[in-house]
Amino acid sequence: MAKRLAAYVVVLFAATLINFVIPRLIPGDPIRVVIARLEMRGRQGFSEDLVLQYTHMFGLDKDLFTQFTNYMTQMLRGNLGLSISWFPSSVQEVIGRALPWTLYLMFTSVIISWVIGNVLGAIIGWQRDSKLARAILPAALVLGTIPYYMLAISLAFFFAYTIPLFPATGSSSIGIIWHGISLGYIADLIWHSVLPVLSIVISSVGWWMMSMKAMIANVLGEDYIMLARAKGMKTSVILRKYALRNALLPQVTGLAMTIGQTMSGALLTEVVFAYPGLGWLLYNAITNLDYPVIQGVVLLIIFTISTAVLLMDLLYPIIDPRIRYGEK
Amino acid sequence: MVRFLEALRKRSGFANELLRNRKILAGIVIFLGMSLISVAGSYLAPYNPMRLGTFPPEMPPSFPAHILGTDSIGRDLLFLLFISILNSLQIGLAVAGFGTIFGLLVGLISAYSGGFTDSALSTVTDIALVVPMLPVLILVSSMIRVVEISTMILILIIFSWAWTSRTIRAQTLSLKERDFVYMAKLSGMGRFEIVFREITPNMISYVGVNFFGTCFWAITAEAGLSFLGLGPQTTTTLGNMLYWAQNYSSIYKGLWWAWATPIVAISVILVALYLVNIGLDEVANPKLARQRL
């Protein structure tokens, strides 16, 4: 357990260290580089004084060790610096505006695909040779290998361009103003999130289905199922009370393992639909060479996913008493 | 093609067993077919397919001039596709090759040395497995501007070996205690010899699964990074094509050929790799094959 915690700390430290070291390995004065970029975009009037002033302001005239301690204290305070393309907003403000949308997309789609995937997986695992199983399996296989955002592009083309059932971009209609939570506003939000959520659900549902199917197949081989059958229990009761219960446990913990993948997928899907979450923010930051925002978003994602994995690891032995750390 | 595979089949028992599995055969045929067509196609190109404005932009597919149409900056998509497929496959194979070898070595060393070396290497592996890959790759490749394909390959290799290393380590630990290894020890074989002549050959199918798995991962990762605009800039890959299609909003201009071309190509490659992988899994674990996943 201590090993897990240590690994967690090391991951976070390594991520922040990379963030500190790599920009400093690149030759050239960062202030001048940024100013050159801004001048390329047509902003004028940067004097030599300003360069010196900024160099002092960002602490780049101090030695590396002081720079590093400064950087770490700012980081621990949650201060990620100023955004270049959304100046004068700070990075944490920009991220704060985007984060809820990504969380909303992720949670909705993870819950939907988890439920559908487990139900389908249980049915298929229970009746392995049924027509339904034969029809679903190859489809799930193909859909599961295609990256989220590629599915998103196809969905956008068919259901937003060819048949305009759903909006193509954004998270809410232009012109709808925030009057507090109203039914119309919520409906509008949901309407805008249908396609992004659908693309994540379609490409991740197969994974849940396959693992549930394997899990059920495993459980069905156990002695207590045999006993239940011999006792003459109803099939539906065996499935519900014995097989599902035991098969669901690993599926719950499986959530932690897929959270990273789902988040990465959600990021790219947002780009397709110009959905104003972290992915869209990241895409725009990359296009505008807004390094503070890129680093802030990436660090936040690494932090979130690592924490989620750690929490799941800690919860694992509590949910499933058969698993104990350090007793192998 | 078929005759070549037939010849290969007769040549060795193991290859025979592998190719008898229909999933592996189908996957390899698709994979080789695509690469051969792309190699031939990219040599047949009568002009530099990368040059902007060679043709009128946004032309729909037409036979025989532009079978896949042209993109928004006036390039013929068919020839662009050939080069992209080759580059993406090159990235996938190079990363898979080096990443698998590296992972294999780390796994073997870790399992065979035990003690401090083992726990140090295992910890590093565990950490590499916990870190979410795409964000880290975004961080690294946004700071080191990826210009060449080789830079992309290098970055991906660094993050590609952990899964291989973990499975190889576990497998080695279980093989280490088998009777044939004791026999080899008793007959006076050195450690090095045992590892490479007794243990590694017994893990060939695992190495294979990891190779194709890493290849799958590398192609997906490259596509994702390039889609965000962090891909190689001097040439084109499948992810790059998708980036330009997205950038010129080809979805909402109805230019379906611009985005469907790279998506179909990537999907076919990934499905082929996946088929090979589950096929290998079935051959390696005959129990699974009986369940018919």
Report the pLDDT value the prediction gives residue A56, as an integer from 0 to 100. 74
Q: Which residue has the higher pLDDT, A89 or B15?
A: A89
| Chain B environment of A5 (Cβ under 8 Å) | none
Report the pLDDT value the prediction gives residue A321, as an integer from 0 to 100. 67
Report the pLDDT value the prediction gives residue A177, as an integer from 0 to 100. 59
Give the mean model confidence (pLDDT) for residues A290-319: 81
> What is the distance in angstroms between the Cα of A110 and the nearest Cα belonging to chain B?
17
User: Which residues, numbered 172 to 231 in chain B, qualify as contacts with chain A under a Cβ-Cβ cut-off of 8 Å?
Assistant: 216, 220, 223-224, 227-230
Question: Out of A7, A168, A217, whose CB is closest to B126?
Answer: A7
User: Which residues, numbered 135 to 174 in chain B, qualify as contacts with chain A under a Cβ-Cβ cut-off of 8 Å?
Assistant: 135-136, 138-140, 142-144
Q: Which residue has the higher pLDDT, B94 or B125?
A: B94
Indicate if A235 and A137 belong to the same structural domain: yes
Indicate if A254 and A308 belong to the same structural domain: yes
Indicate if A205 and A256 belong to the same structural domain: yes
Put simply, the answer to whether A145 touches B136 (Cβ < 8 Å) is no
Q: How many CB atoms lie within 10 A of CB A314?
A: 13
Residues A279, A268 contacting (CB under 8 angstroms): yes
Q: Which residue has the higher pLDDT, B186 or B20?
A: B186
Task: Grade residue A323 by pLDDT with cuts at 50, 70 and 90.
Answer: low
**Residue A298 contacts B where some CB pair is shorter than 8 Å:** yes
Indicate if A110 and A71 belong to the same structural domain: no
Put simply, the answer to whether A168 touches B251 (Cβ < 8 Å) is yes
Residues A150, B260 contacting (CB under 8 angstroms): no
User: Which residues, numbered 202 to 221 in chain A, qualify as contacts with chain B under a Cβ-Cβ cut-off of 8 Å?
Assistant: 210, 214, 217
| Site from A102, A157, A284, A299 to mutate, B interface, most B CB atoms within 10 angstroms | A157
pLDDT at A328 over 60: no
Indicate if A198 and A248 belong to the same structural domain: yes
Report the pLDDT value the prediction gives residue B35, as an integer from 0 to 100. 92
- Residue A2 resides in a domain: no
Task: Grade residue A180 by pLDDT with cuts at 50, 70 and 90.
Answer: low
Report the pLDDT value the prediction gives residue B286, as an integer from 0 to 100. 63
- Residue A138 resides in a domain: yes
Q: What is the pLDDT of residues A89-141, one digit of tens each?
A: 888 888 888 888 998 898 899 899 999 998 888 888 877 777 777 788 778 87
What's chain A's average pLDDT? 79
Q: Which fold has domain B20-42+63-268?
A: MetI-like fold (1.10.3720)
Put simply, the answer to whether A22 touches B271 (Cβ < 8 Å) is no
Q: Which residue has the higher pLDDT, A28 or A237?
A: A237
- What number of CA atoms fall less than 13 Å from residue B88's CA on the CB side? 36
Put simply, the answer to whether A268 touches B274 (Cβ < 8 Å) is no
Report the pLDDT value the prediction gives residue B214, as an integer from 0 to 100. 93
Put simply, the answer to whether B229 touches A283 (Cβ < 8 Å) is yes
Put simply, the answer to whether B263 touches A150 (Cβ < 8 Å) is yes
> What is the distance in angstroms between the Cα of B252 and the nearest Cα belonging to chain A?
6
Give the mean model confidence (pLDDT) for residues B5-31: 74
- Residue A95 resides in a domain: no
CB contacts < 8 A, A to B, total 125
The fraction of chain A above a pLDDT of 90, given in percent, is 2
- Residue A4 resides in a domain: no
**Residue A309 contacts B where some CB pair is shorter than 8 Å:** yes
pLDDT at A224 over 70: yes
Give the mean model confidence (pLDDT) for residues B110-116: 84
Tally the domains of chain A.
2
User: Which residues, numbered 44 to 63 in chain A, qualify as contacts with chain B under a Cβ-Cβ cut-off of 8 Å?
Assistant: none
Task: Grade residue A327 by pLDDT with cuts at 50, 70 and 90.
Answer: very low
- Residue A291 resides in a domain: yes
Indicate if A115 and A195 belong to the same structural domain: yes
Report the pLDDT value the prediction gives residue B287, as an integer from 0 to 100. 56
> What is the distance in angstroms between the Cα of B136 and the nearest Cα belonging to chain A?
7
Report the pLDDT value the prediction gives residue B11, as an integer from 0 to 100. 53
Where in the sequence is the domain holding A294, given as residue range(s)?
101-319
Burial class (CB in 10 A: 0-12, 13-18, 19+), A12: middle
- Residue A133 resides in a domain: yes
Indicate if A158 and A278 belong to the same structural domain: yes
Indicate if A166 and A276 belong to the same structural domain: yes
> What is the distance in angstroms between the Cα of B22 and the nearest Cα belonging to chain A?
15
Burial class (CB in 10 A: 0-12, 13-18, 19+), B284: middle
**Residue B271 contacts A where some CB pair is shorter than 8 Å:** yes
Task: Grade residue B289 by pLDDT with cuts at 50, 70 and 90.
Answer: very low
What's chain B's average pLDDT? 83
Put simply, the answer to whether B259 touches A157 (Cβ < 8 Å) is yes
CATH no. for residue A158?
1.10.3720.10
Put simply, the answer to whether A283 touches B251 (Cβ < 8 Å) is no
Question: Out of B136, B270, B291, whose CB is closest to A217?
Answer: B291
Report the pLDDT value the prediction gives residue B13, as an integer from 0 to 100. 65
Report the pLDDT value the prediction gives residue B291, as an integer from 0 to 100. 46
What ipTM was predicted for this assembly?
Answer: 0.78
Indicate if A151 and A36 belong to the same structural domain: no
Lowest mean pLDDT among A29-33, A253-257, B95-99, B255-259: A29-33
Q: What is the pLDDT of residues A237-263, one digit of tens each?
A: 887 777 877 777 778 777 777 777 788
Report domain extents, chain B.
Answer: 20-42+63-268
Put simply, the answer to whether B263 touches A153 (Cβ < 8 Å) is yes
Q: What is the pLDDT of residues B72-92, one digit of tens each?
A: 777 888 888 999 999 999 999
Indicate if A56 and A161 belong to the same structural domain: no
pTM here is: 0.83
Report the pLDDT value the prediction gives residue A325, as an integer from 0 to 100. 54
Residue ranges of alpha helices (H) inside chain A are 2-25, 30-40, 48-57, 64-76, 91-126, 131-145, 148-156, 183-220, 223-230, 235-237, 245-273, 278-287, 291-319
**Residue A145 contacts B where some CB pair is shorter than 8 Å:** yes
